[in-house]
Amino acid sequence: MGRFVLRRLAQSAVIVFLVATLTFVLLRMAPGDPVRAQFRDVTVSQEVIDEYRRSWGLDRSMPVQYVQYLGNLIRGDFGQSFSLHRPAWDVIREALPNTVVLALAALGISFATGMVLGTAQGANPNSRMDHTLTVITLAVFSIPIFWLGLMFMLVFGQWMGWFPIGGEVSPVYRGLPLVGQLADRFRHLVLPALTLGLGGAAVVARFHRAAMAEAFAENFIRTARAKGLSEQTVVLKHALRNALLPAITMFGLSLPVLFSGSVLVEYVFAWHGMGLAAFEAVGRRDYNVVTAITMIGATLVVAGNMVADLLYRLADPRTAES
């Protein structure tokens, strides 16, 4: 087990490193100049531009920049943001919690809904309910997520007026009591989290249905029934316990999808997370912020995958003790 963890850690580090390098190179290969991007429409003299380039270290050759960047990185320094004139890490520190809250809420919705639906379907394969849910999940799975967000905004934000249509908090947030603040945050979270979570719920349901159906075809289900266990016990204890193993894999696989989805949802709902920050930073050619965000994103994804792998090994008694 220890060796397995070490190997996975090493693999994850390599992937994060690769992503960082790739972003680093792509940024510098792409058209657009970071200094001009800061000044947008203002015309500035070549001297000013050169001065900025020097102070940002962009005047040196790419390999030199790269080595310098890595050196700083090892000391925990992600560099300065060109546009905001503050450490890139600060930008992340503000955006990361928002993204994590959104992602966790969406994960909760995906897995809670998906597992319940998948269990119900898998326990009654080929029933009318199963067929109906199969069609529904396929449909939900096919809806473009940003469009779903817009429709939610239109229906539940505008027409019904149930939820705010964007941002994390209302303008009056600071004046509210603690409970009011929490409620305010929650109300703002509902639509983005639902948007991001529903597609995932459909994927989880489809996947979990298959896992349940597979578990149900196993001989030990027959044994459980032959013992005189109630159908509920057979489903929840014997079939579900076995189908949970694939669900853990599913969890690992869903993280990258979740992150790319969150970029779109953050954009739709003006949710100030990493996706939105990255998007703005790319527009501004804010090299250090973009690299830092892709690196953090990649870290979260590979870490999630690693945790899923570990959990899988621990949850499966056949691999647990080796």
Partner 1 sequence: MTALLRVRHLSTSFQTEAGLVRAVDDVSFDLAEGETLGLVGESGSGKTVTALSILRLIPQPPGAFGPESRIEYDGVDLLRLPSRELRKVRGAQIAMIFQEPMSSLNPVLTVGSQISEAIRAHEPVSRKEANDRAVELLDLVGIPEPGRRFRDYPHQMSGGMQQRVMIGMALSCRPKILIADEPTTALDVTIQAQILDLLLELKERFAMSVLFITHDLGVLAGVADRVAVMYGGSIVEQGPVRAVFEQPAHPYTRGLLHAVPRVDRPSDRIEGIPGSVPTATAWPSGCRFHPRCSECMKRCEVDAPPSYSAGTDHTARCWLLDQSEGQRQ
Partner 2 sequence: MRRLSLAIAIAGAAVVVLRFPRIMELFSSGAAGSIVAAVCAVLVPPAAGLAWHWNRRPGARPSESRTARLLDNRQFVLGTGVVALLTYAAVIAPVLSSFDPNTQTDLLGAATLAPSLQHPFGTDFYSRDLFSRMLYGARWSLGIAFVAVTLVVVVGTSVGVIAGVTGGIVDSVLMRMVDGGLAIPRVLLLLVVAALWGNLGFFPLAVLLGLTGWFGVSRIIRAEVLSLKERTFLAAARALGISQLRLVVRHILPNLVAPVTVTAALGVGNIVLIEASLSYLGIGARPPDPGWGNIIREGHELIFTAPWISIFPGAAIFLTVIGFSLVGDGLRTALNPRAS
Measure the CA–CA gap between 263 and 272, rounded to whole angstroms.
10
* Binding partner of residue 279 among partner 2, partner 1, none, CB cut-off 5 to 8 Å per kind: partner 2
Q: What is the dihedral of CA 243, 248, 252, 255, to 10 degrees?
A: 80
Query: Among 162, 172, 227, 236, which residue sits at the site for partner 1 (rule: CB under 8 A)?
Result: 227
* Binding partner of residue 146 among partner 2, partner 1, none, CB cut-off 5 to 8 Å per kind: partner 2
Instruction: State the nearest-atom distance from the C-beta of 15 to partner 2, in Å.
Output: 5
- What does the block give as tokens for 59? 């005047």
Burial 70-91 (b: 16+ CB within 10 A, else e): eeebeeeebbbbbbbeebbbeb
Stretch that binds partner 1, among 235-243, 266-274, 276-284, 301-309 (CB under 8 A): 235-243
Stretch that binds partner 1, among 32-40, 151-159, 286-294, 310-318 (CB under 8 A): 310-318
- What does the block give as tokens for 183? 């409620």
Stretch that binds partner 1, among 76-84, 213-221, 261-269, 294-302 (CB under 8 A): 213-221
- What does the block give as tokens for 26? 């792509």
- What does the block give as tokens for 139? 């449909």
Using the rule CB under 8 A, is 33 a contact of partner 1?
no
Alpha helices in 143-239 (DSSP H): 145-152, 178-216, 219-226, 231-233
Query: Among 193, 298, 312, 313, which residue sits at the site for partner 2 (rule: CB under 8 A)?
Result: 298
Measure the CA–CA gap between 159 and 157, rounded to whole angstroms.
6
Amino acid code (one letter) for 201: A
Ranges within 122-161 binding partner 1 (CB under 8 A): 126
- Residues binding partner 2 (CB under 8 A): 15, 18-19, 22-23, 26-27, 30-32, 138-139, 141-147, 150-151, 153-154, 158, 256-257, 259-260, 263-264, 267-268, 278-279, 282-283, 290, 294, 297-298, 301-302
